[in-house]
Structure formats: C-alpha cells, structure tokens
Structure 1
Amino acid sequence: MVFSLEEIERFTQLYSGNIIPLRVVLCSLTWVLYDYFETLEDEVRYIWSQKRCVGKISYLFMRYYTILLLVFDVVQIHSFAIPGITSDAVCLAMDPTIRILGAISLWSIEVIMQLRVYALFDCSKKVAVFNGVMFIASIIAFLALLIYNAQGRAALIASAVRLPLPGCPAINGGIGWALWLPASIYETILFGFVVYKSSRSLTLKVRLGERWSLGAIMVGDNMLYFLGITVLLAFNNVMAAGAAKIIPWFSYGPFHAAMGIMTTRMLMHVRKLAAQTDAFAELSGDEVPGEHGEFDGTLPRFVDPAPLSVTCGEV
C-alpha cells in the first residue's frame, strides 16, 4: 500500500493523537483503583452498615459503575490498538456506545444533584418538577445530537480509517463539541440553585463544638462539588471540540474517573458527617442546631441514613 506525503504527515499526527489515550486511560484506571482501596475501610464502616436507601444505592452504583466503566475504557482502547481488530463498522458502532456509557454515569450524577438541590430547598415540589423537566430535556437534546453526529461520523473518519493507526482514529469534528452542551447547561442551572441557596444560608455556618453544622457542610460541599462537575464538563467540551492545540484528545477515561471519585467522596462525606452528628447529639442530649425557615441540618428520609453506633473516641 502506497501513501502520499500528505497521508504520511496526517498519519504521524493521528498516530501521536492515538497514543495519548492508550497511556492516559491506564492512569485513570489506576487513579480509580487507588481511590477505591484508600476509601474501602470507610465504605465498609459507613455505607455497608446502612439500611437500604437512595443514598446508599446511589453511592454503590456510582462507586462500582465507575470502576467497570474505566475497565471497559482500558479494554476497549487497548484491544482496538491490536492490528486487525478494528474495522470501519466497529469504529462507527463503538463511538456512540462509548458516549452512551459515559452519559449513563453523568445522568446518574445529575440525579444525585437533583436530590441534593431538592433537600436544600426543603423538599420543594416546584424545584423538583422544574429540575426534572430540564433533566429530561437535556437527555433528549443529547440523544438528538448523538444521532446526528453518528450519521456524519463515517465521512469524518473516512480518510483516516485506511491508515495503520493503533485503534480507531481519534478525530472529533462536526457538531461533536455540542454533544455535552445540554448537560453543561443543565449543570449550570443546578449550580445556580446552589449559589442562590448558599447566599441565603450564610448564617448556617454555626459551629457545633468543633464541628460545623450539617447544613453548613452540605451547602459548602454542594458549592465545591457542583462547581467541580461544571468545570469538568466545560473542559470536556473543549477537548471534544477537536481543539487539539489547546487540549489534546485523551479519551473520556479521566472524566469518568474524576466524576465518579468526586461523587462518591461527596456522598461519603455527607454520610460520615450525618453519622458523627447523630452520635454527638445522642451523647450530648442536644439536637443539631438549625434556624427557623432554613435548612436545619437534617436530611430528607430518602437520603437520611439509619443511625450508626459510634464510640465516644470516634466522635
């Protein structure tokens, strides 16, 4: 097979681009596994001991789906790098599959975000309905963009498929950059709810001995967590836009890992705080301080874990 000078130059560029995901995805899986073993003791103590509730199910799903998703990323990227494995049809089918699997993780996170906003706004049905409608709209928009992008994918990679690349061509173009835009807009809306609530809840930062109130921690956690997810999506949009000179394509592995770790650590933090606050209140005979008309430091029933026995030395 004879290649033109232009094809050789293009091959060199694409080959370098395909090597990056091979290395980065292994780092992403290593990061997730390291985080898993580092926090496994807390998971056994605080999560496994819980009665079944939405909070526990959310944590376990995000925890283990993230690991499985990263294992899939590693197997898919490295197996496709073996000569003779990929083909035009395989590459075209795998592209939307990868995005759907990543979207399931993101949608799960957005459901958790909705529940946190719902809790912060005193279980307001209006807030829940509004966020639910916007959530469904973002999913519909994502699927519409995914279908449109898949229809033009064959023409986009046609000139590169015949090149001996390690895996499917790492080419992004067309309206691929807009694929995660609906989710980014929705995340911004949810973040706006948290900013609004935090501006109304500054007085919640009342110390409980040496500990902040549960309400103050939830508001602070939400600010950092929602901001982190929003920034990750913005970063992802820039990468998916094909702006290789700014951010090279390094697969969705790092985003899958980062979002999963951020979410599980946030859920673990709330669970640990709730358990320790319950134990403190039980030992002192006091209730968790709150303010009239504001979030009182307790969680709604669907996320409130069963009381956990904690010894005095652990409070």
Structure 2
Amino acid sequence: MANSTAVQEAIELTMASRIPLFTSVASLTWVLHDYLATVGDEVRYVWPSRWNVGKILFFWNRYYTILLVAFDAAQIHSFSKFRPSLYDCVLVDILTRVFGALGLWPIEIIMQLRIYALFNRSKPIAVFNATLFMASIIAFCVILAHNVGELSAKISFAKALPIPSCPIVHVELEWAQWVPPTAYEGVLFSFTLWRASMTLAAKLRETKGHVTFKENVAMPTLHSLLVQDNLLYFLGICGLLIFNNVMSTSASRIPWFSFGPFHAAGGIMTARMLIHLRKTLAVRQEKVYNAALAQLDKTHPAQLATVVDVRASRVHRRADTESTLVDDSAVGT
C-alpha cells in the first residue's frame, strides 16, 4: 500500500514537472517576439533621449526581463536531465524568487513615478508610497526566510521518490510571499482610481463647446494619457500577482506554470507602456509643432525657413520626452 502511494505521488510530481518545460519555452518565445516587434520604436523614441532614472529603469526592465525568462527556461530544462541535490533545488528555488523580485521592484518604482506625475509631483504622496514600498520589500524577505525551512523539508521528502529534476512543491505560506507586493499594487491602483475620478469630475464641469489649442491638434495631454494607461496597467499587474498567489496555494487546482509567464507578462506590459508614452508624446509634439508652423506661415512667412532649419538641427533632442514622465506641467494638464 505504501509503495502504491509512493508510486502515485511520484507520477503526479513527474507530470507536474513537465508543464514548466513547455510554459518556460513559450514565455521566452513570447518575450523575444515582443522585443523584435517593438525594438524599432525603442530605437526611435527611447535611444535618443538623455540618460536619467527613467531611461535606466526602462532598459533594466527591458533586458533584465529577457535574461530572467531565459534563466527560467535554462534552469528548468537543464534540471530535467538529472536529479539535482537537495541543496541545489532549495538554492535555485530561492534564487528564482529573488531574481523575480528584482524584476518586479523596478516595475513598482516606475508605477510610483507615474503616481507622482498624476498628483502634480506631490511629495507627501511620494513619501507615503515609498514607505509602503520599503515595507512590502521587508515583508517579502521575512516571509521568504520563513518559508525556506519548510521548503527544504518538503523537497527532501519528495527527493526520496524516483523522479527527475526538482519536485514542484508548495509550502503552507508560499501564497503569502506575494501578498505584500499585491497589496502594494492595490494601493497604487487606488491612487489611480482616485485621480481618474477627479479628472472625470473636472471634465464634467468644463464648459461644453470650449475648444483649446490642444484639442485642435486632437492629442491627449500627458495627464490624461497617464490616467488611461495606469488604469489598464495596474489592472494587468494586479491580475498577474493575484493569479500567481492562487497558483502558489496547495489547495488550488491550477497547475504550476513556473514563474516564466509571470516574468514575461510583467516585463512586456511595462516596456510597451513606457514606449507608448514616449511615442504618443513625440507624435503630439510633432503635431503641435506642425500646427505652429502652419500658423507662422500665415502670419510671418519670411520666418518659416529659419524655424524649419532650427527644427531640423534639434530633431533628436526633441525625442527626449522622459522628463515629462514625472513633470506633468511640462505639457500641461
């Protein structure tokens, strides 16, 4: 009877370990495909900008995501070829979670910057969010340290079975490890909803039929763009974290897909969001500039050639829209 139970458990663990073999490769393929699909916009709208915090965070998210998902795929496939030791399994499990957190935390810093911009560079809100951010990091590390001992015991028991690779096991409080970042995302999302409701109320109070110069060029302001993107982005990130929490629970019937899809989705959403911001602002600046040229051509046609020459010499510098990410007043609200 004991042998029958052990065989059944070995079969279940073996079957469970096969799922990440496919999802990790699919995640890497997705990341590489998205990179090739968007690298043209990256070169055009990101590369010419000056180096600052925003640009560093973009490149960290962009290329660290590729390396992280490649590490997931390489580790899962290499370990499937032999029976790694207990030490190797525990070490890799911890490193995978820490490496994943190093990809998630910069994303949360970017989200803080966007909230900072939405609330007109409010220092109290920035300090409040930064404090909660540090608290979520500390809570994550404490729960991770607590889970290591139980994880080692569970892996040790599973390693006694005749299975390849590292067994997929879940400790009792594994789901709690991702609760702090999920709760923090919820706080940031609440700020976005608050700002969106304020923006909607302000629009409803506006005088109907009043048309400004910005509305004539039919492009959104940075403020409205941030509100729109943040709502979708925060929903996506919160959804990923919640799904990851559910997948980590022992009672869940959802199989373990590995961290690959989670890492890939978070990195892709962040990169596309930042590229979309830069692209939209660059196009908006171009339309504003063309409208100004048309007006100048009507009023002072003799000065038009001089203005066009100056524009041509500064075209690459105008691609730098990063400062508007945290300075809402740069383009108006």
In 2, the alpha carbon distance for the partners of 1:63 and 1:299 equals 16
Equivalent residue for 2:188, pick from 187, 190, 212: 190
In 1, the alpha carbon distance for the partners of 2:12 and 2:90 equals 21
Distance 1:269 1:282, change over 3 A: same
> TM-score, normalized by length of structure 2?
0.83
Superposition map of 1:17-56 within 5 A = 17-56=16-55
Which has the larger displacement, 171-180 or 24-33?
Answer: 171-180
Superposition map of 1:260-279 within 5 A = 260-279=267-286
Match of 2:245 in 1: 237
Distance 1:208 1:214, change over 3 A: farther
Match of 2:209 in 1: none
* Secondary structure of the corresponding residue to residue 242 of structure 1: coil
Superposition map of 1:20-169 within 5 A = 20-84=19-83, 86-169=84-167
The CA deviation at 1:95 is 1.1
Match of 1:226 in 2: 234
Match of 2:302 in 1: none
Match of 2:292 in 1: 285
The CA deviation at 1:192 is 0.2
1:79 is matched by which residue type in structure 2?
A: S
In 1, the alpha carbon distance for the partners of 2:189 and 2:78 equals 38
In 2, the alpha carbon distance for the partners of 1:215 and 1:161 equals 54
In 1, the alpha carbon distance for the partners of 2:77 and 2:61 equals 24
In 1, the alpha carbon distance for the partners of 2:163 and 2:220 equals 54
Contact 2:65-2:267 within 8 A present in 1 as well:
yes
Q: Structure 2: give runs of 5+ residues left out of the alignment.
A: 205-213, 294-320
| Higher helix proportion | 2
Match of 2:221 in 1: 213
Match of 2:179 in 1: 181
In 2, the alpha carbon distance for the partners of 1:273 and 1:152 equals 49
Match of 1:251 in 2: 258
**Per-residue CA shift, 1:43-80, capped at 9, x if unaligned?**
11111111112222121111100000011001111111
The CA deviation at 1:40 is 1.0
Q: In the comparison of the two structures, how many residue pairs are matched?
A: 290
Match of 2:5 in 1: 6
1:242 is matched by which residue type in structure 2?
A: S
Which has the larger displacement, 87-96 or 132-141?
Answer: 87-96
Superposition map of 1:287-302 within 5 A = 300=323
Larger Rg: 2
In 2, the alpha carbon distance for the partners of 1:252 and 1:118 equals 30
In 2, the alpha carbon distance for the partners of 1:188 and 1:285 equals 42
Which has the larger displacement, 218-227 or 195-204?
Answer: 195-204
1:188 is matched by which residue type in structure 2?
A: G
In 1, the alpha carbon distance for the partners of 2:178 and 2:203 equals 35
Which has the larger displacement, 273-282 or 128-137?
Answer: 273-282
In 1, the alpha carbon distance for the partners of 2:61 and 2:151 equals 30
Q: Structure 1: give runs of 5+ residues left out of the alignment.
A: 287-297, 308-315
> TM-score, normalized by length of structure 1?
0.87
The CA deviation at 1:117 is 0.3
Contact 1:55-1:303 within 8 A present in 2 as well:
no
Distance 1:277 1:204, change over 3 A: farther
Q: Equivalent pairs: percent with the same residue?
A: 46
In 2, the alpha carbon distance for the partners of 1:265 and 1:299 equals 15
In 2, the alpha carbon distance for the partners of 1:285 and 1:166 equals 68
Contact 1:117-1:190 within 8 A present in 2 as well:
yes
Distance 1:208 1:65, change over 3 A: farther
* Secondary structure of the corresponding residue to residue 82 of structure 2: coil
In 1, the alpha carbon distance for the partners of 2:203 and 2:43 equals 31
